[in-house]
Chains A and B, each alone.
Chain A
Amino acid sequence: MNRLLPRLLFAPAVVSLFLWMIVPLVMTLYFSTVHYNLMQPGEKTFVGWENFAYFATDPDFAVSIVNTLVLLGSVIAITVVFGIALALLINEPFPGRGIVRVLLISPFFVMPTANALLWKHMMMNPIYGILAQVWIFFGSTPVDWLTDHPLFSVIVMVSWQWLPFACLIFITSLQSLDRDQMEAAGMDGANPLQKFWFLTLPHLGRSIAVVVMIEMIFLLSVFAEIYTTTGGGPGNESTNLAFLIFKQALMNFDVGVASAGALFAVILANIAAVFLIRMIGKNLDK
């Protein structure tokens, strides 16, 4: 009875998650080896490695990997750098700080499709958009962001959304910074830059690592923004791996190839996940 009760308690959750993980995985493995088109539901012929070869030699594949990495790298860089800057700015008290903190977290809670359209129409439209107005105000011609710089535009949208997240993490971390140590350093003649480099930054090291890994995991799946604005285009300029898989699955209805692609994505995600799990595990032991 003593051993049974705990297991009964977590059984529903564990079983559900197990099914949620195993069933799609097994099916994906299976589908990746057959030729299966959703428009021709009857025919499933075994084709071995063909789907993988097709997906990997698709010219869009290499581009999508590059785009994915560029998207990931840029958003992480922007959110970490500006997140730290922002956190330092509002770490010390000032009038209205409570309201500022509340306002700053807002972009994070906007649903991705609304985020995308907000930027696409209100900010980036080359005629009526706010950015266009600003450009005109300064006397230059407005930029057609989504057509000429599609990936960059997506990067801007996603960074805007995740900056508050990074900032909040860094603020939390900064609050445990040792004040006495800072003061001592100041009395020893350290200037603000030195204090930042030798005291603050190392202290932030762990939270930077967490932000990077969490963003890696979630940003791999950026989809809604691309779907709602550029549709992966023009051509494949803003197609990332997630969108490419979607395209194969639900636009070309080629389940086999899409599954092969999905396995690539899972492998990529696994790499980041391994490191994050280790970090969390260490935290759990404390």
Chain B
Amino acid sequence: MNHLSLIVRTIVAWLVTLTIVFPLIWLFLTAFKTELQAIAVPPELIFTPTLENFHEVQARSDYLLYARNSLITSVLSTVIGLALAAPAAYSMAFFRTKKTKDLLMWMLSTKMMPAVGALVPVYVIAQTAGMLDSLTGLTIVFTLSNLPIMVWMLYSGFKEIPPDILEAARMDGAGVWGEFVHVIRPLATGTLASTGLLCLVLSWNEAFWALNLSSANAGTLATLIASYSSPEGLFWAKLSCASLMAIAPIIVLGWFSQKQLVQGLTFGAVK
């Protein structure tokens, strides 16, 4: 009985999973097809793969520029974010006061406000400061958008460190910097890494601010994909190819850190 139910469950689970993931599988396959193969009716499952789309996407839409912008804004916002969040989280985890919890809650609440609520002022400020369509503007906005979650995740991670170790380090004469470098950093590398990863993912996928604040110069991959919205001639294979290149790195990153990422996004409300 148990054996039969195992088989049934396995089959159902795999069928459901493949159905849900099917659009992505199809995207992957189509990226290696020619345009004619891509629109074939009925759809072709067996075909000889080609790499021509990868060349064409770069030639037609300067893919590398957008990829570079995505990379720069993601990495910079992560680095700056960590630089701002780590000291804050450290301070809140190890120098706790009565106000610490309120401070943390307030920080989280800033993330809960809809981005569209700040669209108008941020746009006007960016316009006045000449930061529309600039990597600087995007990086700043990404950093601030992700900062609350980063502080939160680092705080949760730092709290796991047993205070006795810090006591021992202090008694050995380590100053704050020494504490951080020799005790915190080795123990919290996991937290730092997954927090950084989370910021990378969120910034890379960030579409709202990217669409509204950037254009030809600072556009990210998110905006490039959006520009494929109106079809001009046969373009499905190229769209699949461009999309695949844009989303693949993040999906792979996500596979490695799904637990921490979801932890971060639920603000730790589910243990």
Contact = CB atoms under 8 A, between A and B. Distances in A.
With most chain B CB atoms within 10 A of its CB, the pick from A122, A128, A283 is A122
Contacts of B9: 89, 92, 94
Contacts of A9: 87-88, 90-91, 95
Nearest to B148: A17
Contact of B236 (A86, A128, A250): A128
B103 A277 contact: no
B244 to A, nearest CB: 9
Interface residues of A, number: 101
A16 B204 contact: no
B176 A5 contact: yes
Interface in B94-122: 95, 97, 101, 103-105, 107-110, 112-122
Contacts of B105: 277, 280-281, 284
Interface residues of B, number: 94
Contact of A114 (B92, B103, B212, B247): B247
Contacts, number: 291
A194 interface: no
B231 to A, nearest CB: 7
A92 B110 CA distance: 38
Interface in A131-179: 133, 137, 160, 163, 165, 168-169, 172-173, 176
29 contacts: A9-B90, A12-B84, A17-B148, A20-B147, A27-B124, A28-B117, A28-B120, A95-B10, A102-B258, A103-B21, A106-B21, A107-B21, A112-B205, A113-B225, A114-B243, A116-B226, A121-B236, A122-B26, A210-B266, A210-B269, A214-B265, A217-B114, A223-B207, A224-B208, A228-B229, A245-B116, A265-B117, A270-B113, A283-B271
Interface of B: 6, 9-10, 12-14, 16-17, 20-24, 26-27, 30, 39, 41-43, 84-85, 87-88, 90-92, 95, 97, 101, 103-105, 107-110, 112-125, 127, 143-144, 147-148, 151, 176, 201, 204-205, 207-208, 211-212, 221-223, 225-226, 228-229, 231, 236, 239-240, 243, 246-247, 250-251, 253-255, 258-259, 262, 265-271
